[in-house]
Structure 1
Amino acid sequence: MNIFLWILQGLAALVYGASGIMKVFLFEKISHDVLSFGALPRAVWTALGLLELVCVVGLIVPGALRAMPSLTIAAAAILAGESLVFIWVHAQYRETGTIVMCAVLGLLMAFIAYGRLVLQPIS
């Protein structure tokens, strides 16, 4: 289970890292292609991107250093909660594919939080 959770954490870190970089550094370039980016102000998207980047660090570093593993659980839980915001945003624009992707990522993050809290805590 530990290896499986590490694989999920690594994949999630890649996905959320790319998403955070896109929201913080490439927003102007890509916002024209995605209608739902108009649902929230630019500053909110930047804040969400920064939150994702901080959580990416939280998914990997505490476990790798075996220091404050509760940060990994918190990072995963925060990203699971963030997915609910994204589901709401994309639902306003009826972007079904994106809603499904956000739901899957949210469930994945909830599983990682549960896994690291109950199934295989980092010690």
Structure 2
Amino acid sequence: MNILLWILQILLALHTIMGAIWKFTNPASTVSSLQSIPHGVWQTLGIIEFLCAIGLFLPALTKRLAILPPIAALIIVVEMLGYIGLSFYSGDTNYSHSIYWLTVAAISAFIAYGRLELRPL
């Protein structure tokens, strides 16, 4: 289980770093359901994602920071659910984005649960 959690953490960290880079290089308006997010908030979300990505793999260097992966994963869950809520609120009928965000939220929730309950670091 520990190996599975580490693989998922690394993949989620890479995914999250790519999302942060994408937020720094593209405006929120590139996704129709997210165009109501102000530019400053969009950039802040990119910074938060970058910090979460660091929090997902930092315990590999020192076990004293073992609480960071579940916290980072839960922050990602909240962010993804926020995107889903904003998508539904905007009336977007293209559910492919919501399915994608829900998948990322589910993987993040599994990592948080796994690190808190199943196999702590």
Residue type of the partner of 1:85? G
Cα distance in 1 for residues equivalent to 2:60 and 2:31: 35
8 Å contact kept, 2:73–2:112? yes
Residue 48, structure 1, aligned to residue 59, structure 2: no
Return structure 1 stretches of 4+ with deviation > 3 angstroms.
Answer: none
Following TM superposition, by how much is the alpha carbon of 1:67 offset from its aligned partner in structure 2, in angstroms?
2.0
Identity rate, percent: 35
Aligned to 1:81: 78
Cα distance in 2 for residues equivalent to 1:46 and 1:109: 21
Q: What's the Cα RMSD here?
A: 1.4
Cα distance in 1 for residues equivalent to 2:38 and 2:21: 17
Cα distance in 2 for residues equivalent to 1:49 and 1:102: 16
TM-score normalised per structure 2: 0.91
Aligned to 1:67: 64
8 Å contact kept, 1:63–1:72? no
TM-score normalised per structure 1: 0.89
Unaligned runs of 5+ in 2: none
Q: Residues 3 and 18 (structure 1 numbering): CA distance in 2 closer, same or farther, change over 3 Å?
A: same
| Aligned counterpart in structure 2 of residue 57 of structure 1, from 51, 54, 57 | 54
Residue type of the partner of 1:74? I
| Correspondence 1:1-123 to 2 at 5 A | 1-24=1-24, 26-28=25-27, 31=28, 33-91=30-88, 92=90, 93-122=92-121
8 Å contact kept, 1:83–1:102? yes
Following TM superposition, by how much is the alpha carbon of 1:89 offset from its aligned partner in structure 2, in angstroms?
2.1
Deviations 1:7-65 (A, max 9, x none): 000110111110011102x124xx56422341211111111111000000000012432
Unaligned runs of 5+ in 1: none
Work out the number of aligned pairs and report it. 119
